[in-house]
Chains A and B, each alone.
Chain A
Amino acid sequence: MITGFAASLVEAWQELRVHKVRVLMSLIGVGVAVCALTLVVGFGNMMQKGLADSYEQQGGRAATYTLSLNPTESEMGESEVEKVRSALDETADRFGISHISAYGQAETTVPGPAGTISASMYIVDPDFDVMRRLSVDHGRWFTAGDAANLSPAVVADETFLSEYGIDPTSLPATIELSGSPKKTATVIGSVPSSEFQEYGEIYVLNGQEKQFAADAYAVTEFEMWVPPEVGEELSKQVTSDLRRQLPGFDVSADRTDFASDIDETLGPVKNVLLVISILILFMGMLGLLNISLVTIQQRIREIGIRRSFGATSRRIFFSVMMESVVATTIAGAVGVLIAVLVLKAPLVAEFMFDGASTPQVPISAAIVGMLVSVGAGALAGSVPAVVATRVRIIDAIRA
């Protein structure tokens, strides 16, 4: 069995070597088709990944639910903040929610060495970086222990650091805060700047926001990241649990990530490109099939000779089909290689992702390309293989 398979591969390779020009011509269509298909799958996945990263940075990962916890008859004072914190901790424990973070936003100013610096301030908890895919380029993100620091910790973006005159590689660094008496904060890490942000951005821990902006309101919105498949049911249970724990609060939960928008945005484009690729592949296969059928008629004598050596019908079928499979696999590999090179080309990255970080070429695209190559070879090879098995040995030898 193994010998038969190995021998069929050797025979297929010899056949391809002997008829390389014909094989090359017949495989151009298949190679182009596989390349196109791989490009479509690759582009689609890369765009999806790029879009997903962007969406996740803006709205959280799938599935992110925003919990609004507003006292109905009073302001959010210190006691309310404490109640909310305690209720959230208990709920997170009860339902096994691993990632939960405050999410508040305020404007602030910081006295810099060359004048006042305006910044957007995000009030968050340590889980926030994972939930929003924030990558810290230099220094570090918050830890739970940072809440106890006398000098509050800050993570700032490159724009803010640049305006303040801090080199990100020299972190941690101390910055002065507005207000009297004089207070300082410690910049512990830097993150890349958002693309369309007018001001610099800083991230501070929930509960320390008033040290950066005296008029900042206590956070009333919290994000939780839960598995999408149970998100809806879990959000209902969490809401119910928080309502029980927080009488006098208006509690609501809404899904706020954009994951579902990705398919809506890319779905139609991917489908059209996929249909075009399949059509190209079909035409490539027809070309290969056509040439194979003509070729097999010219090889009748050779098939007869092989039958005289003891080749069975099954072996002839397998050998002829393997010729096609080996050929399309090689063509497919070349097609996939070209597609990967195109996908990795700096020009393409610039065009597709506008110079932002380019997602990796998905391995799934290469696998799809190779599987399609093998499948196309097997399909296109099976018809001439059947014809080959029907050759009468005696007629074939005398052909």
Chain B
Amino acid sequence: MSRPEPTAAETLLSLRHVSRSVPIADDQLLTILADIDLEVGVGEHIGIVGRSGTGKSTLLNILGLLDAPTTGDMEFAGEPVQKISRNRAAAIRGRDIGFVFQQFNLLPGRTAVENVEAPLMYATGREFRNRRRSAEAMLERLGLGDRIEAKPNRLSGGEQQRVAIARALVREPKLVLADEPTGALDVETGRQVMEILDGITKDSGAALITITHDLGVANMATRQFSLSQGCLHPVLDGATAEALAGESR
């Protein structure tokens, strides 16, 4: 089921011996992630499973340049990013990384189209000027053409997540990070949303990393990993309950 790791030429994101620890009481360090090695190819779909508290979100924050690793090397599109400035990280994030959150995180009070055009506020030139058109086109693509002016409180959970996906993809990022994208949806809606997310990222050539504890969602990826006690392990035969528990290699 898993395919070989991508070659250096196709690598979009690579982590080598990355760890993340935080200080706790009495000058102790709590290691959340330890010695993570991961290579993500251009357009690849990766699924990472793990129980709560295993460091999934910390890993996603590092992958999305929201947080920096304590040790190790990290490259994004060939650029070392483990120690870049916050402004540089913000620039890469805005241009090349899209986020899909479990709770959708739509901006309250804004219409669907305003939510989708929100990332384009940080663009420049034509991308900024054409933001409304781009946002409308993306919503059309996700089947929300008739819900453009609807505010989040008038949208169903599935629609809200589709708006969030449109927002993540509107700047045509190289990488989409999805944190429990179906966590707040019922099984059927979750499956539909994941199919849309998987299909649209494939169409646009963006890599997709899905962090989830839903085995079905993880198994839609081309490669799966399990995260257990801060360590990332490849799952060779598809994500299973054992993999989720960190018992399977």
Contact = CB atoms under 8 A, between A and B. Distances in A.
Nearest to A2: B124
B122 A310 contact: yes
Contacts of A307: 66, 90
A261 interface: no
A398 B105 CA distance: 9
B94 A309 contact: yes
Which among B57, B67, B95, B128 has the greatest number of chain A C-beta atoms within 10 A? B128
B149 to A, nearest CB: 13
Chain A to chain B: the 6 pairs with minimum beta-carbon distance, closest first: A310-B94, A18-B109, A309-B119, A7-B121, A310-B122, A312-B90
A132 interface: no
A61 interface: no
A261 to B, nearest CB: 58
Interface in A111-131: none
A138 interface: no
Contacts, number: 66
Contacts of A302: 107-108
A18 B105 contact: no
Interface of A: 3-4, 6-7, 10-11, 14, 18-19, 301-302, 305-315, 393-394, 397-398
Contacts of A10: 121
Contacts of B51: none
Contacts of B121: 7, 10-11, 309
Nearest to A15: B109
Interface string B121-154: 1111100100000000000000000000000000
A245 to B, nearest CB: 76
B191 interface: no
A308 B93 contact: yes
B61 interface: yes
Contact of B67 (A7, A305, A311, A394): A394
Interface string B103-115: 0010111100010
Binding site secondary structure of chain B: helix
Contacts of A301: 105
A51 to B, nearest CB: 52
Given A3-B125, A3-B128, A393-B66, A311 B90 contact: yes
B95 A308 contact: no
Contacts of A309: 93-94, 118-119, 121-122
Contact of B64 (A7, A14, A308): A308
15 contacts: A3-B124, A4-B124, A11-B121, A14-B110, A301-B105, A305-B105, A305-B118, A309-B94, A311-B122, A312-B86, A394-B66, A394-B67, A397-B66, A397-B105, A398-B57
Interface string B60-97: 01001011000000000000000000110011111100
B93 to A, nearest CB: 5
Nearest to A315: B122
Which among A4, A308, A315 has the greatest number of chain B C-beta atoms within 10 A? A308
B99 A308 contact: yes
Given A18-B108, A301-B105, A311 B94 contact: yes
A388 to B, nearest CB: 14
Contact of A18 (B67, B86, B110, B118): B110
A311 B89 CA distance: 10
A305 B107 contact: yes
Contacts of A6: 128
A301 B67 CA distance: 16
Given A3-B125, A301-B105, A394 B87 contact: no
B105 A310 contact: no
B153 to A, nearest CB: 12
Nearest to A307: B90
Contacts of A7: 121-122, 128
B119 A19 contact: no
A139 B96 CA distance: 79
Nearest to A398: B57
A194 B123 CA distance: 68
A4 B122 CA distance: 7
Given A312-B91, A394-B61, 11 more contacts: A3-B125, A6-B128, A7-B121, A18-B109, A19-B109, A305-B107, A307-B66, A310-B91, A310-B122, A393-B61, A394-B67
